[in-house]
């Protein structure tokens, strides 16, 4: 009996090679993940875990009930390999950019059991399998002259008002040998290990790096501040390591596009630390410059107002008094 021919895996939806200095970084948006990046290979190793539709390099939104109302970029918990409940609307891949727009599926099907919060179970609140939210991503390497820093501009569009949301603008799921968390300490401009994230999921205000124990491979992330300040979460298990940038929107999620920007950084632990620290310093300098510009404009407006007041007073005194 002849053996059945082995079928080659289906080609990815999009793929490309970015130059990190003189070295290639190969990425793929695999078939079945609706535009989420499912593979990043650099210096001969894989940086992403894509074993289900909740992992990859992607985004998600939770509306107050955890996974019970949880649109997710790459698809749903029930999706089979190479299939996604999320709807890919457009995809754009070039030599130095990658972009896609996707209507996000709910992580759990309507009426199924779900996790509202750690230790709390419930039923899903979504009535449909696919949400109305559209996740748009636009990525490009070389942020502010750092070859290993990739800017990810994220948009979450909703056609109608929704409850306040926790927006996981960008998250990376990595193989389990990425097991060392390092946080940036802005008070001392240093990086410190955070072993607590190996025991539980937790958030903090400091940018985060997830590295192998030997420091040879690492990925870090920083969220660029906007109307809402970013926070950073992570956890590690025997199966996977995770980092994420989270924006907690406390006001209702209004109709329109909500925009976020993150920078993910790849290399050795030292390379990632150096680029991340430089970006923090550049952002601080920008903030100081903006404050100085605002203060200068305010002072100029105040001086102009005082000048106009003095001119008006001189003119008033030169005129005869009105009889009214």
Number of C-beta neighbours around residue 78 at 10 A: 14
Q: What is the Cα Rg of the chain in Å?
A: 24
| Of 185, 178, 143, 173, nearest in space to 244 by CA | 173
Predicted pLDDT at 255: 97
Per-residue pLDDT tens digits for 241-271: 999 999 999 999 999 999 999 999 999 999 9
Average confidence score pLDDT of the chain = 88
pLDDT at 65 over 80: yes
- pLDDT band for position 226 (50/70/90)? confident
26: left (phi over 0), alpha (psi -120 to 50) or beta: beta
Give the residue among 52, 24, 2 at the shortest CA–CA distance from 240. 52
Q: What class, spelled out in words, does domain 14-284 have in CATH?
A: mainly beta
The average pLDDT across 311-322 equals 46
Q: Would you list the DSSP string of 120-149?
A: EEEE---SSSEEEEEEEEEEEE-GGG-TTE
Mean pLDDT, residues 158-184 taken together: 96
Residues 104-136 have pLDDT tens digits of 999 999 999 999 988 899 999 999 999 999 999
Q: Where are the domains of the chain?
A: 14-284
Residue 187: the pLDDT is 81
pLDDT value, residue 227: 81
Report d(CA 88, CA 100) in Å as an integer: 8
143-147, 169-173, 200-204: range with lowest mean pLDDT: 200-204
Q: What is the value of pTM for the model shown?
A: 0.86
Does the structure show a pLDDT above 60 at 297? no
For range 186-198, the mean pLDDT: 88
Distance (Å, whole) CA 35 – CA 154: 13
Is residue 304's pLDDT more than 50? no
The two structure tokens encoding residue 306: 């005082």
């Amino acid at each position: 009996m002849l053996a059945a021919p082995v079928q080659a895996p289906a080609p990815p939806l999009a793929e490309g090679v970015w130059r990190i200095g003189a070295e290639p970084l190969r990425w793929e948006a695999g078939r079945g993940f609706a535009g989420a990046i499912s593979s990043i290979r650099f210096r001969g190793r894989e940086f992403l875990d894509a074993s289900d539709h909740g992992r990859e390099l992607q985004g998600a939104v939770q509306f107050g009930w955890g996974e019970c109302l949880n649109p997710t970029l790459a698809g749903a918990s029930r999706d089979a390999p190479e299939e996604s409940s999320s709807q890919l609307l457009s995809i754009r891949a070039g030599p130095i950019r990658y972009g896609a727009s996707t209507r996000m599926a709910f992580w759990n099907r309507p009426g199924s059991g779900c996790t509202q919060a750690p230790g709390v179970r419930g039923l899903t609140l979504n009535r449909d399998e696919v949400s109305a939210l559209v996740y748009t991503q636009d990525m490009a390497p070389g942020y502010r002259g750092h070859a290993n820093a990739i800017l990810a501009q994220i948009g979450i569009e909703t056609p109608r008002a929704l409850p306040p949301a926790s927006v996981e603008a960008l998250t990376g799921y990595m193989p389990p040998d990425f097991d060392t968390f390092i946080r940036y300490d802005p008070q001392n401009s240093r990086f410190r290990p955070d072993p607590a994230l190996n025991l539980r999921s937790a958030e903090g205000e400091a940018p985060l790096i997830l590295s192998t124990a030997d420091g040879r491979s690492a990925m870090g992330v920083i969220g660029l501040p906007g109307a809402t300040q970013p926070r950073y979460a992570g956890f590690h298990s025997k199966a996977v390591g995770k980092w994420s940038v989270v924006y907690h929107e406390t006001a209702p999620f209004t109709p329109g596009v909500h925009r976020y920007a993150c920078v993910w950084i790849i290399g050795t632990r030292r390379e990632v630390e150096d680029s991340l620290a430089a970006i923090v310093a550049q952002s601080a300098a920008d903030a100081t410059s903006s404050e100085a510009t605002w203060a200068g404009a305010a002072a100029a407006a105040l001086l102009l107002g005082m000048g106009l007041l003095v001119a008006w007073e001189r003119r008033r005194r030169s005129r005869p008094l009105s009889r009214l």
